[in-house]
Amino acid sequence: MPSQNPRQPVPGTTIFDGEQARRGYALNKMCYSFNDAANRKAFVADEDAYCAKYGLNAQQREAIRNRNVLQLIEAGGNAYYLAKFAGIFGLDMQDIGAQQTGMTKDEFKAKLLAARG
């Protein structure tokens, strides 16, 4: 299915450009803070307060609450920063891939293996 947005010509893909970077700034800034173990702990202790501190908008707050990667990208999240958020829950890249593609983790791993041809 071709993308309708001329700025985003690759199907199933959101190129992280200036528009995304502006939209997602607060969200990515919060995720950047998760480099620090004390901040990860503070988020877990009081998620509402932590999100409020970084000024997440309603869409970003909801996406964080849902732990939903596609929603987080829609809200301006960048993969590298979102990975730090996922790290809090011990999720690896196959967990993330499975969630975004609607597959089980085993199905997603099989998809990767299939790329060997």
Q: How far is the CB of 52 from another protein (least distance, A)?
A: 20
From 20-28, 47-55, 58-66, span contacting another protein (CB under 8 A): 20-28
Among 2, 18, 45, 48, binds another protein (CB under 8 A): 18
For residue 69, the tally of other CB atoms under 10 A from its CB is 21
Is residue 81 part of the contact set for another protein (CB under 8 A)? yes
User: Exposed (0-12), middle (13-18) or buried (19+): which is 60, by Cβ within 10 Å?
Assistant: buried
Binders of another protein among residues 33 to 62 (CB under 8 A) are 34-37, 40
DSSP states of the chain: ---S-TT--STT-----HHHHHHTHHHHHHHHHTTSHHHHHHHHH-HHHHHHHTT--HHHHHHHHHT-HHHHHHTT--HHHHHHHHHHTT--HHHHHHHHHT--HHHHHHHHHHTT-
* Residue 15 near another protein by CB under 8 A: yes
Instruction: Select from 67, 70, 71, 105 the one that contacts another protein (CB under 8 A).
Output: 70
Q: Which of 13, 46, 47, 104 binds another protein (CB under 8 A)?
A: 13
Residues that bind another protein (CB under 8 A): 9-18, 21, 25, 28-29, 31-32, 34-37, 40, 69-70, 73, 78-84, 86-88, 92-94, 96-97, 100-101, 108, 111-113, 115-117
